[in-house]
Amino acid sequence: MSDDGRLRESISFAGATLSLPIYLDHQASTPLDLQVREAMAPYQDELYGNPHSRTHQRGLSLHQAIETAREHVAALIKAAPHEIIFTSGATEANNLALLGFLRAQKGPHHVISVMTEHEAILQPLKAAEAEGARVTLLPVDEEGRLDLRALENAIQEQTVLVSVMAANNETGLCHDLPAIGEICAGKGIAFHTDAVQALATQEVDVGRAGLSLLSLSGHKLYGPMGIGALYVKESTVLSPLTFGGNQEGGLRAGTLPTALCVGLGEACRLLTRRRKADAAHILDLRERLKVHLVEKLGSSARFNSEAAPHIPGCLSVTIEGVDAEELLFELPDLALSTGSACSSLAGEPSHVLRAMGLGAEAVAATVRIGIGRETTGAEIDYAAGRLVEVCRRQLG
């Protein structure tokens, strides 16, 4: 069944059998990998129990399964297992990283971030402001890049934390984490990154990047929804946001979901082996799609953040003269988006594109295409053809 409750439709196209709708929204969520599903299955069915019960073998076995998963998550980002805190997802991890860190500080404090961050960063920062923190949001250029000199100039005596995402969820732009980490280390400032969009195709080494805190999410890594993790560098002090138990070193109360933890661990284990091949495959498909659009739409199609480093799977394209919302409505056979799923819930135009200098008409004409490890060349060719067909109809 598809997400809308109807049976999926199979069609023949260029000698291949395609299942519609074609999923091209991998920045919003990735499909659950079959091997991950299989790893989780025993803990969803017969191996029930509380992993924090240490008085019997079942509880001890579940605890060990979680600790093995913790090791896999740590290995993905070159961290130590004891530095990994399981959460319900990246949003909780971001809240714990930002509010937990700032609440642990003494005296007045200042935090620096970027205008193009995800709402899971921007909204906790608003909450921090309400609690007395001072927040500086730095601008970006037309490609979405952060000026590192502006970052250095924004640092004040009371600056205690910098938070910059690894890769943008709307444009795919990658920030230079090691360069930012070097600036922070030189000033004795903690450095956090929301690495949700980067980790499926990019290597992030927390030591080399100089990170104190890193957030990740299972369902952006071909793992399950409802699970994520926060890397907390040893000696980094946080105040817990939830209370009621001593789980996760006292930083995150609540019984851990064994199956979800195992799923996240398995997804991370698989990525350490196949991420390089995934990235190459996805980049090939991205370039294939770009060629189609350039050949058929010409200068009407403008690709955002193309002059800057970016993850391979995200293609943000502004098609002059097209209404993106209407375009998607006319393409029920494609699963695309106009930007962040969280922003679409609020019904607001993209703050990311506006920060990059795009006007209202350009923002309204922008589509985000997200390619994943299971996307095929035939799917890209079909999707490109349909996009061009509807765009030309709108353009007259």
What whole-number distance in Å separates Cα of residue 357 and Cα of residue 2?
37
Contacts 24+ apart (CB under 8 A), 56-61: none
Neighbours of 48 (CB within 10 A): 12
User: What is the C-alpha R_g of the chain?
Assistant: 22
Distance of CA 66 to the CA centre of its chain: 23
Helix (H, G, I), strand (E, B) or coil at 193: strand
What whole-number distance in Å separates Cα of residue 212 and Cα of residue 121?
16
Cβ-count burial 371-391 (b if 16+ within 10 Å, e if not): bbbebeebbbbbbbeebbebb
Neighbours of 218 (CB within 10 A): 32
Is cis: bond before 139, omega within 30 of 0? no
What whole-number distance in Å separates Cα of residue 343 and Cα of residue 364?
13
The CA distances from residue 344 to 24, 29, 68, 350, in Å, are 16, 14, 37, 9
Distance of CA 269 to the CA centre of its chain: 18
Closest CA to 3 of 378, 324, 335: 335
What whole-number distance in Å separates Cα of residue 155 and Cα of residue 142?
23
Judge whether 265 and 69 are in contact, CB under 8 Å: yes
What whole-number distance in Å separates Cα of residue 98 and Cα of residue 88?
16
Contacts 24+ apart (CB under 8 A), 41-48: 43/258, 43/259, 43/262, 44/259, 47/258
Cβ-count burial 189-207 (b if 16+ within 10 Å, e if not): bbbbbbbbbbbbbbbbebe
Q: Which of 174, 268, 314, 342 is the catalytic position?
A: 342
- Give catalytic status of residue 342 as yes or no: yes
Active-site residues, by number, are 342
